[in-house]
């Protein structure tokens, strides 16, 4: 008999298909916020009028703005943004941008609640994973100043109660978790995403494919979550090529955004990620590989590594993507190539000289230890990296 648990998150609302500024103003009214601090994409702020629309909609409730958050959410930038938000008397954080911006808002909530004012102050709140997979997740009081997210990529961080932040001293990307760091509201408006570079949109779309695929292939799954993951893959396998063909196709973009929601919602049923995510975290934080590209280069090799233990689950992935009976790794590899995205580590600037470091760091990622095919040594990670070279 199957058993499990579905954990409902602290998300209050998902607003989709409405103009972002209009939807945000309505949510700010509902939450009665008076001092709204924006963490936004710098490019979006400097080259489009999307942020100006949001500021205008907020009116006197606009308290300040930070638009200098680098990729992979480095600690020093998070602290700088947090100190600015604290000085502005912020009572609501709004993030408008990609995954690094979204994660910054999550970590900032911790900084504001616990008066963290320098990078060392975050040490007490990070999750620590030993090489055997044992985790230490600090217990601390949740944030009072919460977050609304307006995502412009398909990374999906707005739907989970944890954020990644790179320690600028060690160049290691670490996890910070609390049920209340998940944004209270996410606003899915496809219109601003036309300003997102196409390669970013498509590659973070592969990140969403990775979420759904590793979750379906997880040993911990159930029929309810499978429905969400498979529909996410259907929408992504149709929507991403449509956007590549016509970047102005807002319906296709919204389909992709809804797919991300489905892919992340299914994880509430307990499905776990695997080695593609674990190694991807290291590639991002330690090797500066763009977030979406990490899934492009790691997902097919990890599927092949796991094939001996979850072939039947992998067949569900191929079926959902319109290729019943084929190998999931081959289907996804061809999908990546058709989108014009990189498929090898060498194509994203990672060399064999870095493999030992990547393998060692990956052993400290919790998702490595929930991979369907058990991984207990760095040598097994090296085996996967070699096939991805």
Q: What is the pLDDT of residues 54-109, one digit of tens each?
A: 999 999 999 999 999 999 999 999 999 999 999 999 999 999 999 999 999 999 99
Residue 292 banded pLDDT, cuts 50, 70, 90: very high
Nearest one of 259, 225, 263, 183 to 12, comparing CA atoms: 183
Q: What is the CATH number of domain 198-388?
A: 1.20.1090.10
Q: Are 96 and 40 in contact (CB under 8 A)?
A: yes
pLDDT tens digits for 298-317?
999 999 999 999 999 999 99
| Closest among 357, 50, 302, 10 to 191, alpha carbons compared | 50
DSSP lists the bridge partners of residue 16 as: 188
Q: Pseudo-torsion of CA 103, 109, 112, 113, nearest 10°?
A: -140
Q: What percent of the chain has pLDDT over 70?
A: 100
Helix axes of 291-320 and 378-388: crossing angle, nearest 10 degrees: 80
The C-alpha angle 199, 363, 216, rounded to 5 degrees, equals 55
Fold for the domain defined by 13-191: Rossmann fold (3.40.50)
Q: Which regions of the chain carry the CATH code 1.20.1090.10?
A: 198-388
> Pairing state of beta strands 146-151 and 92-97?
parallel
Please, where in the chain does CATH 3.40.50.1970 lie? 13-191
| Rg, C-alpha atoms of the chain | 20
Cα separation, 304 vs 4, whole angstroms: 27
pLDDT band at 221 (very low <50, low <70, confident <90, very high): confident
φ, ψ of residue 10 to 5 degrees: the values are: -90, 20
pLDDT score at 1:
78
Give the whole-number percent of the chain exceeding pLDDT 90.
93
* Mean pLDDT across 160-184: 94
Quote the pLDDT of residue 251: 98
- Tell me how far CA of residue 120 lies from CA of 12, 159, 169, 338, in angstroms: 32, 27, 10, 44
Q: Which helix (H) or strand (E) holds 94?
A: strand 92-97
Summarize pLDDT for 124-149 with one digit per residue, the tens: 999 999 999 999 999 999 999 999 99
Average pLDDT, the chain: 96
Alpha helices in the chain, H assignment, sequence order: 20-31, 42-47, 50-58, 75-87, 99-114, 198-216, 223-245, 250-265, 275-287, 291-320, 328-338, 355-362, 378-388
Interatomic CA distance for residues 278 and 336, integer angstroms: 20
- Give the relative orientation of helices 275-287 and 378-388 as an angle to the nearest 10 degrees: 80
Average pLDDT of the residues in 29-36: 98
């Amino acid at each position: 008999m199957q058993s499990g648990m579905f954990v409902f998150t602290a998300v209050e609302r998902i607003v989709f298909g409405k103009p972002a500024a209009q939807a945000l103003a309505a949510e700010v009214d509902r939450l009665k916020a008076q001092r709204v601090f924006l963490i936004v994409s710098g490019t979006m702020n400097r080259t489009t009028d999307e942020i100006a629309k949001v500021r205008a909609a907020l009116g006197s409730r606009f308290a300040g703005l930070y638009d200098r958050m680098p990729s992979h959410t480095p600690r020093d930038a998070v602290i700088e943004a947090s100190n600015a938000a604290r000085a502005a008397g912020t009572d609501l954080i709004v993030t408008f941008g990609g995954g690094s911006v979204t994660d910054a808002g999550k970590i900032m909530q911790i900084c504001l609640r616990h008066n963290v004012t320098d990078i060392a102050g975050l040490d007490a709140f990070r999750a620590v994973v030993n090489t055997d997979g044992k985790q230490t997740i600090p217990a601390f009081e949740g944030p009072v100043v919460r977050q609304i997210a307006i995502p412009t990529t398909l990374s999906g961080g707005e739907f989970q109660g944890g954020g990644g932040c790179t320690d600028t001293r060690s160049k290691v990307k670490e996890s910070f978790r609390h049920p209340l760091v998940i944004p209270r509201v996410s606003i899915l408006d496809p219109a601003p995403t036309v300003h997102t570079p196409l390669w970013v949109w498509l590659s973070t779309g592969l990140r969403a494919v990775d979420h759904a695929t590793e979750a379906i292939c997880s040993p911990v799954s159930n029929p309810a979550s499978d429905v969400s993951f498979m529909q996410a893959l259907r929408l992504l396998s149709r929507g991403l090529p449509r956007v590549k063909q016509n970047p102005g196709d807002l319906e296709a973009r919204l389909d992709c955004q809804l797919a991300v929601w489905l892919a992340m919602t299914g994880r509430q049923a307990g499905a776990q990620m695997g080695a593609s995510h674990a190694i991807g975290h290291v590639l991002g934080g330690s090797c500066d590989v763009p977030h979406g590209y990490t899934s492009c280069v790691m997902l097919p090799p990890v599927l092949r590594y796991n094939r001996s233990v979850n072939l039947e689950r992998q067949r569900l992935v191929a079926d959902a993507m319109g290729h019943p009976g084929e190998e999931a790794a081959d289907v996804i590899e061809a999908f990546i190539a058709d989108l014009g995205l990189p498929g090898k580590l060498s194509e994203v600037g990672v060399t064999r000289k870095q493999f030992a470091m990547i393998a060692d760091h990956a052993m400290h990622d919790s998702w490595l230890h929930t991979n369907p095919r058990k991984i207990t040594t760095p040598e097994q990670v090296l085996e996967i990296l070699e096939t991805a070279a």
